[in-house]
Chains A and B, each alone.
Chain A
Amino acid sequence: MIKLEVENLAKWFGPRKVFENISFALTQGESIAIVGPNGSGKSTLLKLLIGFAFPTRGRVVFSDEGKKLDFDSYRRRLALVSPYPALYGSLTARENLDFFARVNGDLVTNEEIDQVLAQVGLEGRGEDFVAAYSSGMLQRLKYAVALLKDPSILMIDEPTSNLDEAGKKIISDLIESRRTKSLIIIATNEKEEYSLAEKLCRLGG
C-alpha cells in the first residue's frame, strides 16, 4: 500500500511566498483535491509532490509498507495528467501509448492499447496522428497514457479541462474506477470537480 505524507510543506521563491503549512496524508484508495484560485500555487505544489521542485521547508515522503521510496521507485507507479500538450504530435496515438509504456519498462500488446483507448472513448482513433486530435481527444488520450501505467499514484492537474459533457462523464467514471487501486491527487479551480475527491486542501488563502 503506497502512502504519501506531506509535512509542513512550504515554498518560497526568494522573498515571495507561494504557500506554507501544507500537511496531509494519503494512502492508496484515498483522494485529495488541491483547490485554489489561479496562481495560488497548485501546479507548484504538484511539482513538489512529484519531486520536480524542492521544498523550502517541510517534506514530501512516499512510502510503501513503511519503507521510504526514492524518486526512481515511485516514479514507475506515478502517472500525471497535466494540462500541457504532453504528447508527440508527429506520432500516432498508438505509437504514443506504446512508446510511453515501453520506455517505462512495460511491453504492451495491441489489445491492451485498444482496451485503454476504449476506456477513454477513443476506440478506433489509434491510428490517427496526435497532431490531428482535438483538444478534447488529446485530454482523453493523456488519461489513456496514465491508465496504461496502472498507476498507484494518480495526479491530475485540471481533470476536465478541454472536455465536453460526454468527455467529463467518461473521465469521472474513469476516476471512480481507479479509486480503490490508486492514491488520487487532483488540482483544480472548478467547484464541480471538488467532488472527485474526498479530502480537500485549500491554497491561496
Chain B
Amino acid sequence: MPRSSVGWVAKVIAVTRKDIVSEFRTRYALNAILMFALVTLTVISFAVGALEPSKEIMAALFWIILFFAAMSGLAQVFIKEEESGTAMILKLSSEGTVIFFGKLFFNLILLSILAVLIIPLFIVLLKTSPANWGIFLTGVILGIIGLSGATTIIAAIVSKATVKGALFTVLSFPVLMPLLVAVIEITKVAFLGGGYKEVWPPMQLIITYDVVMITLSLLLFDFVWRQ
C-alpha cells in the first residue's frame, strides 16, 4: 500500500503525544509526582518552616523536593511500557532515537507541570521568594532539562529490572549529582539576589552536562532498548 511516510520529528511527536493522551486518561505518573512533591513540601514546611532557614538552605530544599518528585515519576514512561506488554512491539516499531526523544520530551512536560505547580506553593508555604526571578527560572529550566535528559536512559534500564522504583533513585543519584550541585548553586544565587556573572560557571557546567549526558544516552540507548 503506497503511503505517505512520517518524518523523524513527526514520529517523536507521535510518541510524546501517545504518552500525553494516555497519561491524561490515567494520570498515574502525574499524580505520583505531584503528590510526592506536595507531601515532601508539607513535611519540610512543618519541619523547618518556623525556623526561617537561610536562603541557601531554601535553594537546596527546593531541589530536594524536585529531585525526589522526579524520582517517583520519571521512570514510569518506560515501566508502563513493560507492564502493559507493549515494550517489545514498540521496539519493533521504531528507532531508538525516536523513542528516546519522545519519552524525554514527555518527562520534560511532566516536570514542567510540576514546577509550575510547586513553585507558587513553595513560595507561599515557606514564606520565601527568589530575589532574582530571571536567574531562578533559568536555573529551573536548565535543571529540568538535565533531570529528564540524564534519567531517560536510566529509566529504560530500570524498566527491565525487578525492583524498579527504589532502583531508579539509586541509579540516578550518582548521575544527577553534578547537575544538582550546580543547579542548587544557581538557585542559591537567585534567592540571595546575585548577578548573572556569579552563575555563569555553574550554568556552563549544566549546559555542558546536558549536552554530554544526552549525547551519551543516545549513543548507548540502543543497547538498552534492544534487550
Q: Mark interface residues in B85-98 (1 if CB within 8 Å of A CB, else 0).
A: 11011111111001
Once the chains bind, are B18 and A89 in contact (CB under 8 Å)? Answer: no
Beyond A52-B227, A90-B25, A99-B18, whether A85 also contacts B86 by CB under 8 A is yes
11 A-B residue pairings within 8 Å (CB atoms)? A50-B92, A80-B89, A86-B86, A87-B89, A88-B86, A90-B22, A90-B25, A103-B18, A103-B94, A104-B93, A107-B4
From B9-17, B130-138, B173-181, B187-195, the one touching the partner chain is B9-17
Among B3, B84, B85, contact of A106 (Cβ-Cβ < 8 Å): B3
From A7-15, A23-31, A71-79, A185-193, the one touching the partner chain is A71-79
Complex CA distance for A79 and B11, rounded to whole angstroms: 18
Complex CA distance for A99 and B14, rounded to whole angstroms: 7
Among A84, A99, A105, A106, contact of B88 (Cβ-Cβ < 8 Å): A84
Interface size, B (range): 20 to 34
Once the chains bind, are B6 and A102 in contact (CB under 8 Å)? Answer: yes
Once the chains bind, are A106 and B5 in contact (CB under 8 Å)? Answer: yes
- A104: chain B residues within 8 A (beta carbon): 93-94
Complex CA distance for A87 and B87, rounded to whole angstroms: 9
Once the chains bind, are A85 and B84 in contact (CB under 8 Å)? Answer: yes
Closest chain B residue to A106, Cβ basis: B3
- A84: chain B residues within 8 A (beta carbon): 85, 88
Number of interface residues of A (CB under 8 A): 32
CB of B26 closer than 8 Å to a CB of A = yes
By a beta-carbon cutoff of 8 Å, the part of chain A in contact with chain B is: 50-52, 71-72, 75, 78-80, 82, 84-91, 95, 99-100, 102-108, 112, 145, 149-150
CB of B226 closer than 8 Å to a CB of A = yes
Give the A-B pair count, Cβ closer than 8 A: 81
| Docked complex: B1-43 residues within 8 A CB-CB of A | 1, 3-6, 10-11, 14-15, 18, 21-22, 25-26
Complex CA distance for A95 and B227, rounded to whole angstroms: 26
Once the chains bind, are B18 and A72 in contact (CB under 8 Å)? Answer: no
Once the chains bind, are B14 and A102 in contact (CB under 8 Å)? Answer: yes
Beyond A52-B91, A82-B88, A105-B6, whether A88 also contacts B11 by CB under 8 A is no
